[in-house]
Structure 1
Amino acid sequence: MLMTKFTHACVRLERGGAGAEQASRSVLVIDPGNFSEVEEALSGAQAFLVTHEHSDHVDLPRVAAVLEADPGLQGWAPEKVAGQLKEAAPSCADRIHTAEPDTEFEAAGFRIQTFGSQHALIHASIPVVANIGYLVDGEVFHPGDSFTVPPGVDVETLLVPIHAPWSKIGEVLDFLIAVRARRAYPIHNALLNDRGTGLVESHAGRIGGIYGTEFAHLEPGESVEL
């Protein structure tokens, strides 16, 4: 499986042929938000997943435009987001599905398991919204805006929300320790400058390594074979 990181929380997962065989590829995108390269990430994809309603995880107008232009694209999202996408792209309503917690389904040929049900608390005055974490093919876990630990699962590849208005470094490290994936990569990092990135990721690499997780940085547009 090839994983490409885009800016912030968006990733693209690909499996199958390359080059002349590109039409046979299975392509799945998670969280095409407004900090991300939405059109590039969704180009040629058969499906996308949205963890929650915040615009840095789903750019409704741009995603709706891609849905309308690509009749082969399907999407899964929490109920409220699915409804918003149907309103934004009414002709595509039959290709937009509601993702429920603790379920399994297939998207673009990938097996999807869902975990968790709510966004991490930002502040008592800010309402908590629904948030679904997605485990893809038992391999890659994207938690969205949460530190949900998927129970009973040995996660191979963890996508770590490395910086957020709802977290601190200690909580990020506790999440790494709790999941104990074989490897981890940062997401949710568009608000960090280079100095902040170096500081936070140095802690993640050191602490993750103590507990058996190899943490590595990925730049937007960079790909890694899983």
Structure 2
Amino acid sequence: MLLTKFTHACVRLEQDGRVLVIDPGVFSETAAALDGAQAVLITHEHPDHIDAPPVLAALAADPLLVLHAPAGVAASLRSAAPDQAGQVHDAAPGERFTAAGFAVQCFGGQHALIHPTVPMVANVGYLIDDDVYHPGDSLVVPDGVGVGTLLVPVHAPWSKVSEVVDFVVSVRAPRAFPIHDALLNENGLGFTEGHISRIGGAHGVVFRHLDPGQSVEL
């Protein structure tokens, strides 16, 4: 499986001509990420995880493209594009389905707390082919499964370094790569990734930095 990181939280998975894209948001190169995709997974409604106009355009351009998202996000997309309603599906914790030929399991339920005055929204984390776990905007450890490749939200308004490191240690995936990093400059990114690499490494996790556009074979 080939994993390509796009800016911030977006990743593209490719295998045997099949393409699955997760969280093409406004900080990401959405059109490039979606080129040739057969399926899209959205973790939650925030625009840094779904850039709605190009996503809707991609659905309209390809009637075989399907999208899975939490119910509220899916309903909004179906309302905005009734002609593509049949391509948009709800996703919820505990569900399993196949997207672009990849096996998908759903975990989580809600977005991490930003502040008590900020309303919670639904968030679904996705485990792909019993290997790649994208948690969206949460640090929910998937239960009852092993994770081979962890995508780590390294920085967010809702997290701190100790929580991110504890998440990495708790999941204990053999390998980990960064996501959710568009708000950090090079200094902040190096500081945070250094802690993840050092402490995660003591628990058997090999953390590797990926630049936007960089790919890795899993």
TM-score for the superposition, normalised by structure 1 = 0.95
Structure 2, unmatched stretches of 5+, are: none
Q: Who is 1:2 aligned against?
A: 2
- Partners of 1:65 and 1:85 lie apart in 2 by 11
Q: Is 1:189 matched with 2:181?
A: yes
Indicate the RMSD between aligned Cα atoms, in angstroms. 0.6
Whether contact under 8 Å (1:65, 1:89) holds in the other structure is no
Q: Who is 1:203 aligned against?
A: 195
**Shift of residue 152, structure 1, vs aligned partner:** 1.4
How do 1:160-179 and structure 2 match up within 5 A? 160-179=152-171
**What secondary structure does 1:132 align onto?**
strand
Aligned with 1:121 (options 113, 118, 132): 113
User: Which contiguous aligned blocks of 4+ residues in structure 1 show a shift greater than 2 angstroms?
Assistant: none
**What secondary structure does 2:110 align onto?**
coil
Q: Is 1:132 matched with 2:99?
A: no
- Partners of 1:122 and 1:113 lie apart in 2 by 25
Q: Is 1:46 matched with 2:49?
A: no
Q: Who is 1:222 aligned against?
A: 214
- Partners of 1:160 and 1:199 lie apart in 2 by 15
Whether contact under 8 Å (1:157, 1:182) holds in the other structure is yes
- Partners of 1:67 and 1:95 lie apart in 2 by 7
Aligned with 2:81 (options 86, 89, 96): 89
Q: Who is 1:158 aligned against?
A: 150
2:46 maps to amino acid: H
Greater CA drift, 144-153 or 80-89:
80-89
Aligned with 1:76 (options 68, 76, 79): 68
Aligned length: 218
Q: Indicate the percent of aligned positions where both proteins have the same amino acid.
A: 62
- Partners of 2:62 and 2:212 lie apart in 1 by 24
- Partners of 2:80 and 2:28 lie apart in 1 by 19
**Shift of residue 154, structure 1, vs aligned partner:** 1.2
**Shift of residue 88, structure 1, vs aligned partner:** 2.2
TM-score for the superposition, normalised by structure 2 = 0.99
**Shift of residue 220, structure 1, vs aligned partner:** 0.4
Q: Who is 1:105 aligned against?
A: 97
**Shift of residue 191, structure 1, vs aligned partner:** 0.3
Greater CA drift, 79-88 or 125-134:
79-88
Deviations 1:71-130 (A, max 9, x none): 221000000100111122221100100001111000000000000100000000000100
Q: Who is 2:12 aligned against?
A: 12
